[in-house]
Amino acid sequence: MNLLTSMRYLVALNEHRHFARAAQACHITQPALSNALKALEDEFGAVIVRRGRVFGGLTAEGEQVLVTALSMLRAEEALRQDLSAAAGQLKGQLRMAAVPTAIPMLTRFAALLRVQHPGITPMVLSMSSLEIETGLEDLSLDLALGYSERLESGSRAARSARISVWPQYQEHYFLLSPAAAEQSQKPVKWSQAARLPLCLLTPDMHNRLIVDQSFMAAGCGVSAAMETNSVLSLMLAVTEGGLHSVLPGALVATLPESDRISVRPLIAPKVQTAIAFLAPSQDQATRAQQAALALMQSQAWRQQCASFAGAVR
């Protein structure tokens, strides 16, 4: 087995944090994955993986090998893209991620990219802000859509030098309610929304921090009646569970027309949060990255971005 293949298995294990799931992602058996990683350890003369009843993470030496593995796989993908472009049609993968509330925007972007470059295969992933920032730094992600304000805080200032930022739109917030609970389409105050049974994202999500801070700015705290890390669950909690939720315009715009849902802008305060494209700061982007960055800065995308992100029915 060649070194590059073994490195690919190591990256898969680090991504999935589980031997069986990593093997499944690589389309091999779990014993084959374990054997390949053991051979990699024999090759380097160092223990790379902490083994036990479950995956225990990578050793310090394993983390060093992982950095090289990611660099090798990226170099291989860049070469494939260069050769395909020289042959007349750009082909290759583009790993992209978005915070859950921005997934509709990134999916729309990926579809437009495919129209312009049919040979590019975009991968759209939903990740937390921390996962996105880590993926951009270790080059396991090519592009992401997330909260640029996180990179401006003092504790993350060092990351801002390693991640390039392109502002895209301002996230506006709406209260989503069962239609039977409120027929009015007038704006609602955050303080009024705080008194409702709310389904909110889990505290580890940056969007939850924004929502909590908005309630605090309105002079009230909030206790969620239900928490989830799934945007789909947020919506279903309203349509099927009789709860209320706070959603940005990009998600509101994806909701089907229904007389079961009431959508009202949240005010007092009127909250806006910057959403931006994020990419690794480096001198050499892959061909697929270059194509994505060109689309991202085009007038056509900016027009669609502005109308879709702020939409409310």
- Cβ–Cβ under 8 Å, residues 129 and 255: no
Q: Tell me the CA distances in angstroms from 111 to 211, 249, 295, one per residue in order.
A: 30, 19, 11
**Residue 25 to residue 7: CA distance in whole angstroms:** 14
In this structure, the strands spanning 163-178 and 244-248 are antiparallel
171-270: same fold as 91-169+274-309? yes
Per the CB < 8 A criterion, the answer to whether 119 and 101 are in contact is no
Tell me which fold the domain 171-270 belongs to. Answer: D-Maltodextrin-Binding Protein; domain 2 (3.40.190)
Residue 171 CA to residue 249 CA, distance in Å, equals 7
What are the per-10-residue average pLDDT scores of the chain (313 residues)? 90 93 95 94 95 89 94 93 93 96 94 95 95 91 94 62 89 89 78 96 93 96 93 90 93 79 93 94 86 92 75 50
Residue extents of the structural domains in the chain: 3-65, 91-169+274-309, 171-270
The two structure tokens encoding residue 158: 């060092």
CATH number assigned to the domain with residue range 3-65, chosen from the 4 options 1.10.10.10, 3.40.50.2000, 1.20.1250.20, 1.10.1370.30: 1.10.10.10
Integer Cα distance of 255 and 202 in angstroms: 21
CATH topology for 91-169+274-309 is D-Maltodextrin-Binding Protein; domain 2 (3.40.190)
The structure's pTM equals: 0.87
Please tell me the distance from the alpha carbon of residue 7 to that of residue 68, in angstroms, as a whole number: 9
d(C-alpha 165, C-alpha 284), whole Å: 16
